[in-house]
């Protein structure tokens, strides 16, 4: 069975410098409650809330550190990059990502694991200065820290848009609204209908969007009553038509409507 964790560098970065720069420059900025810290920014600060956009600017605390060197050396344009600092005993909820992730382990003890839920296989991501690609796109996985020390990684998302950034663009939106839906009464405080619908019905579609080099940005907005609106920007009319009439989207929307979720596809309406 193919591993979903793959090393993608031949020469490692200086792992001692990685630890030193993290402890000295990054850790002091790490939030205590939700230990995630952003590393990259879009050129326009107003675009910070986009789900998917080019993020070529580095946070001030990253500038001048080895992490700037690492981000500059990536074989892709930078999307979101995040320092994740899982404290002992902390686990991620199992989930799918819309894209594959690239990890540099900053601190990863022998009790920290990355788990491929679909194949029930557990991996170590070595803390050796190498970058690892984790095939998490549309694939259920989680990360568990059963160690006595934090599990700390820099997680990088590639920005795969590959067209003239100054080319004219076309945009279209899709919205789901569940206020009149007949959903089963099984939600918890952290697993709300909005994020469950997003995770369960739209991750595969988002994954297909991100893989299209003509997809320039994805904006996600929460509307009144918990509805979610996605606005997708393309540099190609054909790409827009392809994705807004895709089998993935139409099947998900069809099933959603069976639960009473109202779907608006601005391309088809």
Question: Which spans of this chain sit near another protein (rule: CB under 8 A)?
Answer: 34, 36, 84, 86-87, 89-98, 117-122, 140, 144, 146, 183-188, 190-191, 195-196, 198-201, 203, 237-238, 241, 245, 247, 250-256, 258-259, 268
| Minimum CB distance to another protein, residue 220 (Å) | 10
For another protein, the closer of residues 15 and 103 by Cβ is 103
| Minimum CB distance to another protein, residue 226 (Å) | 14
For another protein, the closer of residues 45 and 184 by Cβ is 184
Give the count of beta carbons closer than 10 Å to the beta carbon of residue 6: 12
For another protein, the closer of residues 25 and 267 by Cβ is 267
> What does the alpha-carbon distance between residue 152 and residue 183 come to, in Å, rounded to a whole number?
37
DSSP 8-state class, residue 87 = P
| Minimum CB distance to another protein, residue 161 (Å) | 20
> What does the alpha-carbon distance between residue 31 and residue 46 come to, in Å, rounded to a whole number?
22
Three-state secondary structure of 168-219: CCEEEEEEEECCCCCCCCCCCCCCCHHHHHHHHHCHHHHHHHHHCCCEEEEE
C-alpha of 163 from chain center: 21
For another protein, the closer of residues 168 and 247 by Cβ is 247
Q: Judge contact between 240 and 172, C-beta under 8 A.
A: yes
**Which residues does residue 95 pair with via DSSP β-bridges, in sequence order?**
141
For another protein, the closer of residues 64 and 260 by Cβ is 260
| Minimum CB distance to another protein, residue 189 (Å) | 10
| Minimum CB distance to another protein, residue 59 (Å) | 17
Which one, of 137, 140, 86, 136, lies nearest residue 113 by Cα?
Answer: 86
């Amino acid at each position: 069975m193919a591993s979903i964790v793959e090393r993608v560098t031949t020469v490692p970065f200086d792992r001692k410098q990685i630890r030193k720069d993290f402890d000295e420059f990054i850790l002091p900025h790490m939030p205590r409650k939700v230990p995630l810290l952003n590393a990259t920014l879009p050129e326009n600060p107003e675009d910070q809330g986009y789900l998917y956009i080019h993020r070529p600017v580095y946070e001030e605390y990253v500038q001048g550190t080895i992490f700037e060197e690492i981000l500059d050396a990536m074989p892709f344009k930078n999307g979101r990059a995040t320092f994740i600092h899982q404290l002992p005993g902390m686990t991620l909820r199992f989930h799918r990502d819309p894209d594959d992730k690239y990890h540099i382990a900053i601190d990863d003890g022998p009790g920290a694991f990355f788990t491929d839920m679909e194949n029930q296989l557990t991996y170590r991501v070595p803390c050796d200065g190498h970058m690892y690609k984790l095939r998490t796109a549309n694939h259920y996985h989680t990360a568990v820290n059963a160690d006595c020390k934090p599990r700390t990684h820099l997680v990088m998302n590639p920005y795969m848009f590959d067209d003239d950034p100054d080319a004219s663009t076309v945009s279209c939106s899709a919205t789901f609204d569940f206020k009149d839906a007949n959903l089963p009464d099984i939600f918890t405080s952290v697993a709300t209908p909005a994020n469950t619908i997003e995770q369960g019905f739209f991750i595969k579609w988002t994954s297909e969007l991100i893989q299209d080099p003509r997809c320039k940005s994805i904006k996600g907005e929460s509307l009144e009553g918990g509805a979610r609106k996605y606005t997708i920007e393309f540099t190609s009319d054909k790409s827009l038509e392809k994705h807004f009439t895709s089998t993935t989207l139409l099947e998900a929307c069809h099933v959603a409507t069976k639960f009473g979720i109202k779907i608006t596809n601005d391309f088809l309406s």
